[in-house]
Chains A and B, each alone.
Chain A
């Protein structure tokens, strides 16, 4: 028996539009082990939300090209919709981006919860509601929020309610897409910490935490997966990725992060020149090569995922050379 909750192998998920195919997730391979929080980082349009959709939403215009996804040892890509429906919320749960704005304005929170669980074949009885109230206390909300409308709650409170609702059936795997992005810094810390606490308390098994903000990932993720233009460029333990990044993109991304203690007068940060390529009908080759200072003709061919060590993998032709170049 493997200890992996999720196994993704060579996943390709494209969007089909009139002009061709948008290769938003292209050949991605990774695992999520039991009890782990895997952070997924990348800039807008890099395919991180598509990756989440590919795992759970299964709707056109997104369609699969190839690859396998196993959740708890079961192939979820070729699973019939009816069967997959039974796994949702119980085994795999998603907090989509902008979930904050997805509450019905005419329903009280209590009604929203009962409708949701009933939809998944669970009776919203006394026992379940007691559990909801108990969980709400974990996020410092009292039961009175159940009788309020969503407009009466602040953004931070709504996000806490969402965190509780989507984990109410104790899913083995939770996908959290940009759950801290629309929040104030104080709520951001609370919600992110809460997610880690839910994991520690065994309420959720593992989680995939998607955000553009590497500094939040550094706080709670065990490992970080960095995406660029639909490709996985680097994956490894959090401290390794942040303190010792190897891929030229990860290096540049971390170097561009402003931090308390760094002021323009003392140290001028640099961004990355140019913009990511369009993913429409994109061809062979490393997709970072247009912006990469180390790119050569060799980068016209796609690099494969290589192991730096047992934990750390990277997709770059020149990572060894860059390594010695930087340390020299």
Chain B
């Protein structure tokens, strides 16, 4: 296990989460296994994986919505498992916030936007005197007109606007870490790029660190400085985005790149392509490279060669 690097705000080390289910809780599902990475200020990490790979579980673990089975999440030098009382937890949430996939399901349909923001602001115990000004300010920073937004109900706003509101809500706090879990998968192509650009701008101007969880490789490439690829709960490849995309090593990463639809190249229709094959390919890859574990193939590019 490596030591957290000095310039990271949040370090994840050997994170593992096992869910148990069944009548006697004897069925185990390993959702996340031995995951380690660092989040640095002013950078965007994309966490890419297919459904069931454990990417959302990692987001939930960092947001302290569920407890890890083992491993640590170290925020500013302190393990978040040590957060015990409500006050400390509130302090943590002032710095670490999340935005999720479905903006239509997140809002209370009976609350106007101003009420949502008031409730959040009050619950974090900020100075009430400049509340209104602060709320207007965060709305402007996500390119929404406060006068045309505050008095509205959620159903009167579009998906893109709601998602901007959720990002604005996190900015009420002075966040260091933003977990963005599939935030644009429900939005249309013409509006989602605006949200991506917004995340990039906020990240760079505020020195925030964003964990961008997605299944879409094209979006991941556009937005991120650093890429993490997940497969069945394991981080199989990670590194500098351009390096991972230009030189994928792990068979699962290769398969993902082969299946992503792109408007510059067409799939080879003669090539036999079966998603099931990857299971066997990964198995063979691991047995050929037995005992190697994680290895750095080039600077800022790490591959899991065998599952220990």
- Which positions in A face B, CB cutoff 8 Å? 43-44, 140, 155-156, 184-190, 192-193, 196-197, 212-216, 218-219, 242, 252-254, 256-264, 268-272, 275
Instruction: For the A-B complex with A258-B223, A261-B245 known, give 9 more contacts whose Cβ atoms are closer than 8 Å.
Output: A44-B188, A186-B259, A189-B259, A193-B273, A218-B262, A253-B189, A257-B189, A264-B197, A272-B191
Interface status of B31 (Cβ within 8 A of chain A):
no
Q: Is the pair A271, B193 in contact by a Cβ cutoff of 8 Å? A: yes
User: Can you give 11 contacting A-B residue pairs, CB < 8 Å?
Assistant: A185-B216, A188-B259, A212-B188, A252-B190, A256-B190, A258-B196, A258-B219, A260-B217, A264-B223, A269-B197, A271-B189
Q: Name the B residues within 8 Å of A254 (CB-CB).
A: 263
> Are A264 and B267 touching (Cβ within 8 A)?
no
CB distance from A90 to the nearest CB of B (A): 28
Q: Is the CB of B264 within 8 A of A259?
A: yes
- Contact between B190 and A260 (Cβ–Cβ < 8 Å)? no
A218–B222 touching, CB < 8 Å = no
Judged by a CB distance under 8 angstroms, whether B118 is at the interface is no
A-contacting residues, B262-298, CB 8 Å: 262-264, 266-267, 269, 273-276, 278
Q: In the complex, what residue of chain A is closest to B267 when comparing beta carbons?
A: A219
Is B261's CB under 8 angstroms from A189's CB?
A: yes
Residue among A188, A253, A268 making CB contact with B190, cutoff 8 Å: A253
Q: A214-B189, A263-B241 are in contact. Are A190 and B261 (CB under 8 A)?
A: no
CB distance from B142 to the nearest CB of A (A): 14
Partner of B222, one of A184, A197, A263: A263
Q: Which residues of B contact A213 (CB under 8 A)?
A: 261
Bound-state Cα–Cα, A46 to B190, Å: 13
Nearest B residue to A249 via CB reads B190
Chain A residues with Cβ below 8 Å from B218 are: 215, 257-260
B230 to chain A, nearest CB (A): 12
Bound: A272/B219 CA distance, A: 17
Residues of A within 8 A of B274 (CB): 140, 190
Q: How far is the CB of B134 from chain A (nearest CB, A)?
A: 27
Whether A196 touches B269, Cβ cut-off 8 Å, given contacts A186-B255, A186-B256, A252-B190, is yes
**B193 to A261, Cβ gap below 8 A?**
no
Within the complex, what minimum Cβ distance (angstroms) separates A207 from chain B? Answer: 15
Cβ-based interface call for B174 (8 A): no
Residue among B51, B217, B222, B260 with the most chain A CB within 10 A? B222
| Cα distance, A196 to B217, chains bound together (Å) | 24
Which residues in window 195-221 of B have CB below 8 A to A? 196-197, 200, 215-219, 221
Bound form: Cα–Cα A274–B206 in Å: 26
Please, how many angstroms separate the alpha-carbon atoms of A268 and B263 in the complex?
Answer: 18
Chain A, residue nearest B242 (CB): A263
User: In the complex, A132→B219 CA distance in Å?
Assistant: 38
Nearest A residue (CB) for B199: A264
A215 to B256, CA, bound (A): 15
Residues of B within 8 A of A272 (CB): 190-191
Measured between beta carbons, the chain A residues less than 8 angstroms from B192 are 256, 271
* Residues 141-197 (chain B) with a chain A CB within 8 angstroms: 158, 160, 188-194, 196-197
Check B278 against A186 for contact (C-beta < 8 Å): yes
Determine if A156 and B275 form an interchain contact, defined as CB atoms under 8 angstroms apart.
yes
